[in-house]
A = this chain, B = another copy of it.
């Protein structure tokens, strides 16, 4: 571990890309060294928008254990915050969870000027005792550089392992990416990661979950996947009919028995109006359900369908900031509904 010297206030600043820290959710970081969700030079050409959005660090986490009384972060962002419907804390902030695997509890969030492109924040200042720590990365901004600050002389050790190796990959839209959670830990992939104690790779690309074959091929490059969740209908609408089967077939060609969960889109508030939106959504969900059924009838017992309209449950129409993007309320409800479905699939898959 290459340490910088302690600063004047006794804090040593560390690079979380180096052991014993573990960074999860960024599968190309060991080769590319940068905080990015796709390879810097993908083997298949990807659209510019996807390439740019891959620099947003949604779903990435830093794991470690320390007995330091203080935990700080210094963060350098490529651009300022400024979304109108998502606070800077969710767009560009980190939040901190502490506790044993499977029982992590939220503790604090980085507070910084909404216009800042660099910040330093003390996330924990408590008694000296060993803690298991997870920091969640910004959802809608990149991270050029991040340092973790610990009290000089404290312990720093490797984090406990996930319950099993191999990530769950979620591919999708702005909603998948975590828009508009108030802080990073409330994106559904992060909620599920701490509840299931599994690595999640978040491949949600705001407005750009278009189901291109190139993305399926890049997902195929991720080793040892436990499951892939396809949650991109909201960005393609009727084009789900033209893209989904091919996307599945590319994944399946390389991973004959890996569970694939196809998830249709959540309810938008506009559907209360008796517009045609509700009927069109139901038709698309039915298309996805039938496609999965067809695959299962043809012998693929490891593909599943989840009707996204069930995800927000009671008070569904209260769960978004703008009729489309879930708030923390919406994301917790999504995770509540997805958790038992994923658990059951994983339990059967491992039998």
Contact = CB atoms under 8 A, between A and B. Distances in A.
Interface of A: 81-89, 93, 98, 105-109, 111-115, 126-127, 180, 182-183, 185-186, 191, 269-270, 272-275, 315, 317-323, 327-330, 332
Contacts of A275: 126-127
Contacts of A112: 84
B107 A85 contact: no
A85 B106 CA distance: 16
A275 B129 CA distance: 13
**How many copies of this kind of chain does the complex include?**
2
Contact of A329 (B87, B88, B107, B327): B327
Contacts of A105: 269, 272, 317
Given A107-B323, A318-B328, A329-B328, A180 B87 contact: yes
The 8 closest A-B pairs by CB, nearest first: A327-B328, A329-B329, A182-B321, A84-B114, A328-B329, A84-B88, A182-B327, A85-B89
Nearest to A181: B327
B114 A322 contact: no
Given A273-B107, A328-B329, A329-B332, A182 B85 contact: yes
6 contacts: A84-B93, A84-B111, A105-B317, A186-B318, A321-B328, A329-B329
A329 B275 CA distance: 28
A224 to B, nearest CB: 30
A86 B86 CA distance: 7
B111 A322 contact: yes
A94 B113 CA distance: 24
Contacts of A318: 106, 185-186, 191, 328, 332
Given A84-B113, A111-B322, A126-B275, 18 more contacts: A84-B89, A84-B93, A84-B114, A85-B111, A87-B321, A105-B272, A106-B318, A106-B323, A127-B274, A182-B321, A183-B322, A186-B318, A318-B328, A318-B332, A321-B328, A327-B329, A328-B329, A329-B329
Nearest to A327: B328
Contacts of A274: 127
A315 B332 contact: yes
Contacts of A323: 106-109
